[in-house]
Structures are given as structure tokens and as C-alpha cells.
Amino acid sequence: MELQFYGANTISVSYKGTRIVVDDNLGQLASKSITKPEDVSLFTMAHEPVNSRLVFDKPGEYEVAEISIIGIPTRAHIDDDQSNNATMFKLIAGDISVLITGHIYPSLSDDQLETIGIIDILIIPVGGNGYTLDPQGALKIIRSVEPKIVIPSHYDDKSLKYPVVQQDLDMALKGLAMEPKETLTKLKVKTNELLDSTQLIILEKT
């Protein structure tokens, strides 16, 4: 499995010739979409039309090639407590599991945690300011899920025009109180290389 980061919450997960692109709303943030017609698109919240071969944006269980996709309904960070307008996605490829939270409220129910199960890689926003998870909210999710790898997303980026100003990565890392293990342009994951303890990895924007 290979992961790349493109800014905001946009990330690609590639496995055995299939590329899944998550939350590619870069065109709405004064940048350029990275989605290609042969890609599979996932969206954790409402989105504009996208040119890809498949789009999943709602809860459910899906299969694409050798990748299992589970969409889990959840409350968006800006919603009231009676709404579940967002979708977390769990991807399972081979023996590796990935959870992409999107802009969720930082409280998960027992049922949600049971569906999430064991997670190897957690991709989670940290930009805060009322729009998405801040470091404290992200840390709450990290402690609930106990992943082996944490990848932060959706922090300040001068090349993007966010609807709400986001805090920068250095400030977010101070709030997380986690030292990055390493900074990479791509994360290539093999099951036998994963550690038992939680590691923070920074993916540089591609």
C-alpha cells in the first residue's frame, strides 16, 4: 500500500493498481484537482461533481478490486448532535487497515468504535478553529482508535484558500504532544514493518 498527501484532506491510497482518492476538493480551495478518470473517489462530506470511475460518499460496504471500503455515518464537526451528515471511511487492503475521519466531531460511540475495529493508519485533520478537529479533538480520537500510524491533515497551507483559517502544523504538533517519527513524500506500508506503539508520520504535500 502507498499513500500520498496533496493538501487539505486530500490523500491517495494505492494498492495493486487501484488508486483511491479521498476528499479531493482542491478545486474549491484555489488549487487543482488531482483526481483522474480511472480513480475511485471517496468523499467524507458533501462535494461537487468529480470525474472518476466510481464515487462513494455515503455509509455502506463496498468492494473495489482487492480493497474493502466501509463507510461509517458520523457527526460532522460543525453539525448539531442530532445529525450524522459525515462519513468516515475504513479501507482494508491485504492486512492493512486505514481510517480516514474527515471533519468529524471528536466523540465516537461504542458502535462506531466496534465498526472501526483495529486500525493501522489513521488520517486525521488538526487545523481546528471551529471548522474541523483541533489537536485536542484529534488526540481524543487517536486514544480511542489506537492506530499504529497517525498522519495529520488539513492544517495551514499558504497555497490553499480555506473557508476558515487553519492553524499551522507546528502549532498542531505541540497540541498533540507527539514527535514525528519521520517526514516522507510517500508512505509505503508493509504489515511486517508496523510497530505496536503509535507513531506520528508527516506526509509532505505532493
When pLDDT is cut at 50, 70 and 90, the band that residue 10 belongs to is: very high
Burial class (CB in 10 A: 0-12, 13-18, 19+), 21: buried
Q: Give the global pTM.
A: 0.96
pLDDT at 194 over 90: no
pLDDT score recorded for residue 96:
96
pLDDT score recorded for residue 188:
95
Averaged over 44-52, what is the pLDDT?
A: 92
The backbone torsions φ and ψ at residue 136, rounded to the nearest 5 degrees and listed phi first, read -65, -45
pLDDT in tens, 92-146: 999 999 999 999 999 999 999 999 999 999 999 999 999 999 999 999 999 999 9
- Return the domain boundaries, the chain: 2-203
When pLDDT is cut at 50, 70 and 90, the band that residue 192 belongs to is: confident
pLDDT score recorded for residue 196:
84
Q: Could you tell me which residues come within 8 angstroms of residue 67 by beta carbon, excluding any fewer than 6 positions away?
A: 13, 15, 18, 20, 91, 92, 93
What is the fold of 2-203? Answer: Metallo-beta-lactamase; Chain A (3.60.15)
pLDDT in tens, 80-93: 776 778 999 999 99
pLDDT score recorded for residue 1:
95
DSSP 66-98: TEEEEEEEE-BTTS-TT---EEEEEEEETTEEE
pLDDT score recorded for residue 136:
96
Averaged over 145-172, what is the pLDDT?
A: 96
The rounded percent of the chain whose pLDDT value lies above 90 is 88
| Residues forming beta bridges with residue 7, ordered by sequence position | 10
Cell readout for 140 is 481524543
The helix (run of H) or strand (run of E) holding residue 5 is strand 2-7
